Amino acid sequence: MKLYNHKSLLQIFILFVFLSQNILAQKVINISAHTDNDLFLLLTEEGMDVKRYDTPAQTIEEAAKGSGVIITATGYPDRPTVITKELYDLAARKHLRLYVEFVNEYPGIQIAKDLYTGKLERGVISSKFFLPLQPMSLLALNDCHIYKAEVKNPYISFAKVAGYDVAQYGLSDTEVFPLLFKEKNTMIAMSCLSNFKTARYAPNASWKSVWEHILSWVTNRKDISLTKWESDPQPSYAENAILPEDARTTSIRKGAGWLYNGRFLIHPSWKERALEIQGDGLMPVGPPVPLDALVGNGSDGVLEGHASTIYYDGTEQYRYWLRNDVQGEVAFLLASAGSLLNNDKYDETSEHLMDYMFYEANFRQGPRANKDSASYGLLGWSATHPYVFYNDDNARSLLGVIGASAYLKNERWNKFVVECILANLRISSKQGFQGGRLEEPQILENGWKFYGERDYVNPHPHFESWMWACYLWLYNKTGYKPLLEKAKTAIRITMEAYPDKWGWTNGIQQERARMILPLAWLVRVEDTPEHRAWLDTVVQEVLKNQVACGAIREELGSSATGMFGGAKSNKDYGLHEAPLIAKNGDPVADMLYTCNFGFFALNEAAHATGNPQYKEAVDKLSDFLIRIQVKSDKHKDLDGAWMRAFDYNRWDYWASNADAGWGAWSTLTGWIQSWIVGTQTLVEKNQSYWDITHDINVSQEMQDAMWMVE
């Protein structure tokens, strides 16, 4: 047996103590942070050994040798984090692994003193440090305030780049700032990364991975796994969760209540402020309506919803624009929910919105109310642009009013409905098309017959098809043949043009979704094998892209016919309307253009044909929409909403945010919320819109308005 002398034993003991202390030190995380800091709360929830201090100096001075130190941005975004050279030197002597953020000074590194606030920029993984997150993977940092540093080879860069989940054009042709890099024993973030939950950084799984890697480096451990990571807002249910029996009713209740919780209904006490923010309508966005603001009753209109701009505190920008279509659509939402839930307040608000749009607002005033005017009966686009007409916006507004009238059993708006449909009919071409946009000065100058006698085709369902549905609806009530003839002619031309000659706006999928409704109602009025075949052609194309969870995947069409394709370069990102995807196959559903309208139309198709495949698709889509409805304890103005984008693979609100007006995190009281809630009500009652509006009687109103088309 080998004998050890006392000196050897002492050396072994000292080494054991040193190694033990070093291991213990590595397990401790020393952090300078406020008590409500997201990272500090997460580490505490994870059960980690965390020592919190109020200042960077305290943290570095008290930290044990060899331990990990995190200095968060306690003054963000108003004040940079201040760490002296002496503290950096002390950290080096103590062999601390130091993470600091939002500093504008570091020895030996040139950092600009002026703070830059990002707009369209995103984080770009720029190294293999975060594997399995691949280089060029994208991260969203909302309202990112950053100091520019002169650094090569950062771990994460900050730049305006195009792409869905990766920077598809790399980091060329764009200004690049270092966001996160390592210098000696210090990892430096030039912004605040530790407010990931508050500022709603996305996508969630990617940020979780980023922080697992940072924490593993800080603690010199490879086993850091965050099991308590949570986000707010989040989907109402997991992808595979069993839905409660009352899930749809609950979704409808939350979807209607969102309008009030978000204070989107203008109240007289803050109407002036809303109109001031609306301005000329070119940039009608501003901070959220204050939480203590009173909620209107519909008499002064309803706002659009959220813009896709999230502030560093997690609040989201509002759109204060008053649009005609939104008023009618929200009236439908509230009347449908009111019918199901027996809620008189919803019914009254619905009535007030329709009175507002037809009597109080300027949508149907001036020339539009003058019987001698060529624009008589048309509904103006918005309060700021009443002289602009999109026949699609007119169609959705009218369908909203018709549906609301049926639920309320109140038809006093029939006159306006009939006159608006005929006003659109008479300015559509001989083939039944109007085009994307018409303006009142030209209509008044040319006269309505000029437009009605044109030879013009525009196989672009987003702009055209729902007005054809209105023609078919009114034809079914009155038997007025020109309504059927123009609808059938336009539908035939459009179906013969599919797919190569179809125009598309933000994707071909939305065009298919929009086309289903007039095809379903054409089967209602003329149930022929050809009409059923047309309907089935489009439905099957949509269902090819319905995935297992019920979502409808977005798809781009031919670049030759697309109106707003993906960004063609990094510079192009965010300059115009854009799709949520970069390429076909990206796992994204769009609630603004496709799933919302497709849901309503597929339900009509299922009832029109009795096809069980269509009904199954409706039910799957219904469940998907219930699951992804926003749940938020912190943001009551989001709780119960649907955001535009959803990545069904990540099960997260994520997509390209390139759209200049309606990005990934936008909401819309009209287009999105109304058609989803309204259709969920129909599905819950096992009804179709066609059937619930069957008994509306417009005979007298049609007779009174026939002079318009003579």
Domain ranges of the chain: 28-231, 247-703
At the topology level, CATH places domain 247-703 in: Glycosyltransferase (1.50.10)
Please give the pLDDT value at position 229: 97
Q: How confident is the model at residue 479 (pLDDT cuts 50, 70, 90)?
A: very high
Measured between alpha carbons, how far is residue 352 from residues 273, 299, 330 in Å? 21, 5, 11
Please give the pLDDT value at position 23: 45
User: Which helix (H) or strand (E) is 625 found in, with range?
Assistant: helix 612-628
- Quote the CA–CA distance of 447 and 615 in Å, as a whole number: 45
Please give the pLDDT value at position 1: 42
**Least confident interval from 489-498, 510-519, 529-538, 555-564:** 555-564
- Quote the CA–CA distance of 548 and 536 in Å, as a whole number: 20
Going by their DSSP bridges, the two strands 186-189 and 176-183 should be labelled as: antiparallel
Q: Are the C-beta atoms of 146 and 116 separated by less than 8 Å? A: yes
Mean pLDDT of 501-512: 97
Measured between alpha carbons, how far is residue 614 from residues 224, 305, 307, 699 in Å? 47, 31, 33, 33
Please give the pLDDT value at position 8: 57
DSSP state of 309: E
Is the confidence at residue 2, as pLDDT, over 80? no
Is the confidence at residue 5, as pLDDT, over 80? no
Is the confidence at residue 287, as pLDDT, over 80? yes
Q: Are the C-beta atoms of 487 and 530 separated by less than 8 Å? A: no
Predicted confidence (pLDDT) per residue in 260-273, tens digit: 999 999 999 999 99
Predicted confidence (pLDDT) per residue in 146-165, tens digit: 999 999 999 999 999 999 99
Mean pLDDT of 472-488: 98
Is the confidence at residue 579, as pLDDT, over 90? yes
Counting beta carbons within 10 angstroms of the beta carbon of residue 245, is it exposed (0 to 12), middle (13 to 18) or buried (19 or more)? exposed
Counting beta carbons within 10 angstroms of the beta carbon of residue 7, is it exposed (0 to 12), middle (13 to 18) or buried (19 or more)? exposed
Is the confidence at residue 321, as pLDDT, over 60? yes
Going by their DSSP bridges, the two strands 588-590 and 388-389 should be labelled as: unpaired
Mean pLDDT of 6-21: 47
Is the confidence at residue 36, as pLDDT, over 80? yes
Q: Give the residue from 674, 643, 694, 684 showing the smallest Cα distance to 334.
A: 674
Q: How confident is the prediction for the chain on average, in pLDDT?
A: 95
For residue 81, give both structure tokens: 């984090």
Q: What are phi and psi of 101, to 5 degrees?
A: -140, 150
Mean pLDDT of 647-665: 95
Counting beta carbons within 10 angstroms of the beta carbon of residue 253, is it exposed (0 to 12), middle (13 to 18) or buried (19 or more)? middle
- Quote the CA–CA distance of 563 and 462 in Å, as a whole number: 11
For the domain covering 28-231, report its CATH number: 3.40.50
Is the confidence at residue 468, as pLDDT, over 70? yes
Predicted confidence (pLDDT) per residue in 333-365, tens digit: 999 999 999 999 999 999 999 999 999 999 999
**Least confident interval from 19-28, 113-122, 450-459, 682-691:** 19-28
According to DSSP, the residues that pair with 235 across neighbouring strands are: 630
Q: How confident is the model at residue 596 (pLDDT cuts 50, 70, 90)?
A: very high
Mean pLDDT of 307-325: 97
**Least confident interval from 467-481, 516-530, 552-566, 617-631:** 552-566
Q: How confident is the model at residue 199 (pLDDT cuts 50, 70, 90)?
A: very high
DSSP state of 504: B
Global pTM?
0.95
